Structure 1
Amino acid sequence: MNWRLDLNDAPSRDQGSLLLTAVQAVAISPEKAKKIVAQYQKAAHKTNPKASETEIEEIISNKIVDKYSKYASLSGGVAALPGIVPGVGTVAAMVGGGMADTTACMKIQIDMTMLLATNFGYDLNDHDAMYMTTLIAVSGGLEKMGVGIGVPIASKAGVKMLKQYLKGATLTIVKELFKRFGLTFTRKALEKSIPFGVGVVAGSGLNYALTQYVGHQAIKCFTIERQMEEEADNNGKVDS
Structure 2
Amino acid sequence: MNHAAGELEESRLQKAVEMIAITPEAATKLVGGYRATFEAKFKREPESLEDKCRIAAKIIGRYSKLSAAAGAVTAAPSVIPGIGTAVAVLGGGVTDIAMALKLQIDMCMCLVEVYETELSSEDKKHLAFVLALAGSVEQMASKGGKAAVLKIAEKLVYQYLRGPALITIKQLFKRASITFTQKAMAKAIPAGVGVAFSSSTNYVLTTVVGKVAVAVLAKEVK
Shift of 1:162: 2.5
CA contact (8 A) 2:21 2:105 kept: yes
Change in 2 beyond 3 A, CA 1:87/1:159: closer
Kindly indicate whether residue 77 of structure 2 is the aligned counterpart of residue 79 of structure 1. Answer: no
Question: What's the counterpart of residue 103 of structure 1?
Answer: 98
Percent of aligned pairs with the same amino acid = 33
Change in 2 beyond 3 A, CA 1:32/1:50: closer
Equivalent residues in 2 for 1:17-56, closer than 5 Å: 17-49=11-43, 53-54=47-48, 55-56=50-51
Shift of 1:62: 0.2
Distance (whole Å) between structure 1 residues aligned to residue 118 and residue 75 of structure 2: 32
Shift of 1:50: 6.0
Change in 2 beyond 3 A, CA 1:143/1:51: same
Distance (whole Å) between structure 2 residues aligned to residue 124 and residue 92 of structure 1: 32
Distance (whole Å) between structure 2 residues aligned to residue 222 and residue 34 of structure 1: 16
From 159, 162, 165, give the equivalent of 2:163. 165
Change in 2 beyond 3 A, CA 1:124/1:100: farther
Shift of 1:46: 0.9
CA contact (8 A) 1:109 1:214 kept: yes
Provide structure 2 residue ranges, at least 5 long, that are not aligned to the other structure.
1-5, 144-150, 190-194
SS at match of 2:16: helix
Question: What's the counterpart of residue 222 of structure 1?
Answer: 217
- Structure (1 or 2) with the larger CA radius of gyration: 1
TM-score norm. by structure 1 comes to: 0.75
SS at match of 1:145: helix
Greater CA drift, 216-225 or 72-81: 72-81
CA contact (8 A) 1:153 1:221 kept: no
Shift of 1:52: 5.8
SS at match of 1:78: coil
TM-score norm. by structure 2 comes to: 0.81
Deviation sequence 1:213-240 (CA, Å, 0-9, x none): 100100001012223xxxxxxxxxxxxx
Distance (whole Å) between structure 2 residues aligned to residue 159 and residue 92 of structure 1: 29
Deviation sequence 1:48-98 (CA, Å, 0-9, x none): 236862232111100000000011111231122212332322211211213
Distance (whole Å) between structure 1 residues aligned to residue 61 and residue 79 of structure 2: 15
Provide structure 1 residue ranges, at least 5 long, that are not aligned to the other structure.
1-11, 194-199, 228-240
State the 4+ residue runs in structure 1 displaced beyond 6 angstroms.
none
Question: What's the counterpart of residue 185 of structure 1?
Answer: 180
Distance (whole Å) between structure 2 residues aligned to residue 92 and residue 121 of structure 1: 33
Distance (whole Å) between structure 2 residues aligned to residue 172 and residue 70 of structure 1: 31
Letter in 1 for 2:114: N
Q: What value does the CA root-mean-square deviation take over the aligned residues?
A: 2.6
CA contact (8 A) 1:189 1:206 kept: no
Distance (whole Å) between structure 2 residues aligned to residue 27 and residue 124 of structure 1: 18
Change in 2 beyond 3 A, CA 1:160/1:28: closer
Letter in 2 for 1:176: Q
Deviation sequence 1:160-198 (CA, Å, 0-9, x none): 4223113xxx323312211221232233345169xxxxx
Count of aligned pairs: 204
Shift of 1:102: 0.9
CA contact (8 A) 2:35 2:46 kept: no
Letter in 1 for 2:181: T
Change in 2 beyond 3 A, CA 1:111/1:33: same
Change in 2 beyond 3 A, CA 1:126/1:32: closer
Shift of 1:36: 0.6
